[in-house]
Amino acid sequence: MSTFNQFPFSEKLLKLLDEIGYKNPTKIQELAIPKILEGNDILASAQTGTGKTAAFLLPSLHLITQPSFESESDGPHILVLVPTRELAMQVAKEADIFTQYLPLSRAVCIYGGVPYPVQRRALSNRYEILVATPGRLMDHMQNGLIDLSGVKMLILDEADRMLDMGFAEDVQKIADACKGPRQTLLFSATIDKKIIPISKKLQKDPVEVTVEPDLTVQSNIEQKLYYVDNIDHKIKLLDHILENNDIYQSIIFTSTKSLTDDLADYLSDNGYLVAALHGEMSQRDRTRTINKLRYADIQFLIATDVAARGIDVPGITHVINFDLPFESENFVHRIGRTGRAGAKGIAITFSTYKEERKLERIYKLLGKEIEQHSIPGMEPQPKPEKGFSTKRRRGRRRRASEKV
């Protein structure tokens, strides 16, 4: 079994890793750290919870302590861009831990929702590591408070999520401000058509590092499948489930922003403590909504896949897939929002018979089918026989908000 002693880290860094219980590197750390230490740009695919923060922070901290990384700039030497306030705080916290024996490697964290004077004071003293969300970093750059010319390591964490949230233009401007020679490390959940173009713009001959996602589902999560005829049927089932189940908190996943808002309005009108979460919301509003969920100020969160990735709230007892996800892998990530820390969880899924191909792909990932359930008096229409077809109804289907 490999250990961190296999890497040429300084004695101080190895001593710290031993003290905090870092004995054996994870797969992403084992693969990425040597390539980063060799000076390569990295294009890495790894899901949340695999130890990717240490995979990029540890070799970066080692490299900036080397004589070749000296810089006269007062700005940061390591710049970590992240999509959300929550992730910025997590990365900065790990940076503070890893730099305990490196007093000259101070970290500063900036993100939206915090008064500018507080962050100006933090930026007024010398620092080597900057963890930031793109929008707030751009604000400080435009005010002349941050000089990125001395950046030696540019790191994009959850790059795919940053692109989904519309930060592509800001990321490019920030990268352009890092004028000197640098390494660029790009970490994403997947390497796909969204990531490749930005990699080509920001990186030079990147080495690809891929850790296949763990798509297993914990045994403490009970799954139930309900077939539905249409959105009216979904609403009736949802009403029954919310009224007749012991739900502490739940995330209800939808496929579109408009349906997310409509469903949240409907449940709110029916007396539930509810909020919507989707990619078109501002960072401040997303942060406020997640905190409401975390502190149990709301019972139900209606969310799209883009907005809800990585939410870790122990109180989530139920996940409801109001719509099936566009990408099968997201199904596993969705239901993993419940059953946290070994607690029992329930995942409920709605599907029409027309979506059975999607279900088959999900079953393939799960390695099993989901047990089918029905509610007396709310059973779906009989499944059409193969080869039987009906004419499509004319006219546009009404929006969910008009139906509910």
pLDDT one-digit tens code per residue, 107-134: 999 998 888 999 999 998 889 999 999 9
Q: How many CB atoms lie within 10 A of CB 222?
A: 14
Strands (E), 2-136: 42-45, 78-81, 107-110, 129-132
Confidence band (pLDDT; 50, 70, 90) for 398? very low
Q: Which domains does the chain have, with CATH numbers?
A: 4-210 (3.40.50.300), 221-403 (3.40.50.300)
Positive/negative CA dihedral, 99, 100, 105, 111: positive
Q: Tell me: pLDDT of 393 over 50.
A: no
The chain-wide mean pLDDT, for the chain, equals: 87
What is the phi/psi pair of residue 196, to 5°? Answer: -55, -45
- Map 296-325 to HEC letters: CCCCEEEECHHHHCCCCCCCEEEEEECCCC
What are the tokens at 144? Answer: 């002349």
Q: What is the pLDDT of residues 39-76, one digit of tens each?
A: 999 999 987 667 899 999 999 999 887 776 666 667 89
Distance, in Å, from the CA atom of 247 to the CA atom of 243, rounded to the nearest integer, reads 9
SS (H, E, C) 118-153: HHHHHHHCCCCEEEECHHHHHHHHHCCCCCCCCCCE
Name residue 151's amino acid.
Answer: V
CA separation for the pair 250, 317 (Å, rounded): 6
Give pLDDT tens digits for 152-196: 999 999 898 888 778 999 999 999 999 888 999 999 877 888 899
> Which has the closest alpha carbon to 403: 233, 239, 253?
233
CB 221 within 8 Å of CB 368: no
Residue 142 has pLDDT above 90, yes or no: yes
* Closest to 213 measured CA to CA, from 334, 91, 49: 49
Q: Model confidence at 333, in pLDDT bands (50, 70, 90)?
A: confident
401 pLDDT higher than 60: no
pLDDT, residue 394, reads 39
Whole-model pTM: value is 0.66
CA 38 to chain centre: 28
Residue 376 has a pLDDT of: 95
Give 215's pLDDT tier (boundaries 50, 70, 90): low
pLDDT at site 399: 41
